[in-house]
Amino acid sequence: MKRIWMMFASVLLLCGLLTACGGDSAPTDDASAPEEDTPKTVSVAEKGTAVSIMTASEWEGQYPDIYASYMANAENDSVHDYVADYPMLSKVYEGMAFNKYYSSARGHVYTIEDVTETGRPHALANCFSCKTPQYSAMVNESNGAAYSIPFEEAQAQITEPITCYSCHANTPGEFVISNLYLADAVGEDLNNIPAETLSCAQCHVEYYFAGAEKATTLPYSNLSTMDPDAILDYYNRTIVDGQPFADYTNPRTGVRQIKVQHPEFETFMGEGSQHKNDFTCADCHMPEMTNEAGETYISHKWVSPLDSQELIDNTCSACHADLKAEVRAIQTAMERRTYAVGYLLEGLTDTLAQAVESGTYTEDQLNQIRELARSAQFYWDFVFVENSEGAHNSTLDTRCLDKAEDFANQALALLH
């Protein structure tokens, strides 16, 4: 089971109880680390300012333990083929390259290789948005113009994957949002979200490419509008060429579909989350470690909390008698449900395609069914591509799968 495996091994899963993208408390001096209960603040990078990105290796001498833990992310090098693991994707994603090429990401130190070797063609550089701080700097310096330059043009200038700069700029000990689309999306709630979680939310979010500029954009404007219902409504109200926004159109059914992207942040912060008010992404995915000299530091090897027995014993056990068994039960149930609803969507796709080909339905009838199918696919995808398999917010995931199943059944009823 692909995403159950990811919960235990893949770095991309890592933030959302958790959404992890680049680091918790910045590389700080081990001997003078701030108290854990000291609230951390976050600043936002400025537009139109050229910056020189300090690479992770440049911090090695000053923060050897943190650097070594960051480099240990290279151990997460396994890749799973989702199309093979989830056969329904060939039809659910029909009309875009994800239905043929969709492999698991290997984590932060592999982001450049993973985005350039997906098998899916990239026309524009915006695909680098959360893969490297060098591109974030290009976007900020150009006031967004870099979003629409050719992919190859940006690729020639990029060497550093997700790294220290992604979350701290060149200022260890501070949190800096370098991907400005996140600050735009959370708006007035910027200071209501822990800095550690915001750092991860720079990448582990749902997004789309907006307007003629094809700028990376998150489909909400504050915490209250990042709910799946509000996000779908946002897309339905975003008109492109006279029709609601779509990432692709299924060639056989004519359904204008939305390809959701890893919404760990939205899921963790969403209604039903049991941990968002008490824990940050870093609390669960970046444990405090002790080196041979007895000095403590924050590990920058992003791990599942299930892989940290010390974290389970010292923190999780206060509320969970057997955290591993509880998570395993949640993930197993969610995975079974995801498969079941996924196959329901596959059947809906084939049945609707046959109806279109038959010529026995009016275009108004087909459009009514297409709208239901679009909603069903969106809610299913919101769960399928979120990399915790229910562990971040099983209440929200269950609600989404219930809606996906209901919309799919409504569409099938109209077809029968």
Phi, psi angles (nearest 5°) of residue 238 = -90, 100
> What is the pLDDT at residue 105?
84
Pairwise CA distance, residues 306 & 316, whole Å: 10
- Going by pLDDT thresholds of 50, 70 and 90, the confidence category of residue 8 is very low
- Res 21 pLDDT > 50: no
Kindly state the average pLDDT of the residues 108-127: 92
Beta strand residue intervals within 278-357, DSSP E: 288-290, 296-298
| H or E segment to which residue 249 belongs | strand 248-249
Q: How many residues does the chain have?
A: 416
Instruction: Give the residue from 150, 90, 84 showing the smallest Cα distance to 121.
Output: 150
Q: Any idea which architecture 2-320 has in CATH?
A: Orthogonal Bundle (1.10)
Kindly state the average pLDDT of the residues 182-203: 96
Query: pLDDT tens digits for 220-235?
Result: 999 999 999 999 999 9
Beta strand residue intervals within 135-203, DSSP E: 175-177
Instruction: Give the residue from 403, 409, 391, 193 showing the smallest Cα distance to 304.
Output: 391
Query: pLDDT tens digits for 256-292?
Result: 999 999 999 999 999 999 899 999 999 999 988 999 9
Domain boundaries, the chain: 2-320
Q: Find out whether 113 and 32 touch, Cβ atoms under 8 Å.
A: no
> What is the pLDDT at residue 6?
41
Query: pLDDT tens digits for 398-416?
Result: 999 999 999 999 999 999 8
* Whole-angstrom Cα Rg for the chain: 21
Burial class (CB in 10 A: 0-12, 13-18, 19+), 50: exposed
- Res 348 pLDDT > 70: yes
> What is the pLDDT at residue 236?
98
Residue 349: CA count within 13 A, CB half-sphere: 24
Percent of the chain with pLDDT over 90: 80
Beta strand residue intervals within 20-173, DSSP E: 42-44
In sequence order, which ranges of 10-163 are alpha helices (DSSP H)?
A: 64-71, 82-85, 89-92, 111-116, 133-141, 151-155
- Res 386 pLDDT > 60: yes
Query: pLDDT tens digits for 33-43?
Result: 434 456 688 99
> What is the pLDDT at residue 38?
62
For residues 336, 226, 108, 35, the Cα torsion angle rounded to the nearest 10 degrees is: -110
> What is the pLDDT at residue 78?
85
Query: pLDDT tens digits for 315-326?
Result: 899 999 999 999
Pairwise CA distance, residues 41 & 49, whole Å: 22
- Going by pLDDT thresholds of 50, 70 and 90, the confidence category of residue 16 is very low
Instruction: Residue 43: count other Cβ atoms within 10 Å of its Cβ.
Output: 14
Query: pLDDT tens digits for 149-184?
Result: 999 999 999 999 999 999 999 998 899 999 999 999
> What is the pLDDT at residue 13?
34
- Going by pLDDT thresholds of 50, 70 and 90, the confidence category of residue 5 is very low
Distances (CA, A) of 381 to 89, 190, 263, 279: 10, 27, 10, 26
- Res 137 pLDDT > 60: yes
pTM exceeds cut of 0.75: yes
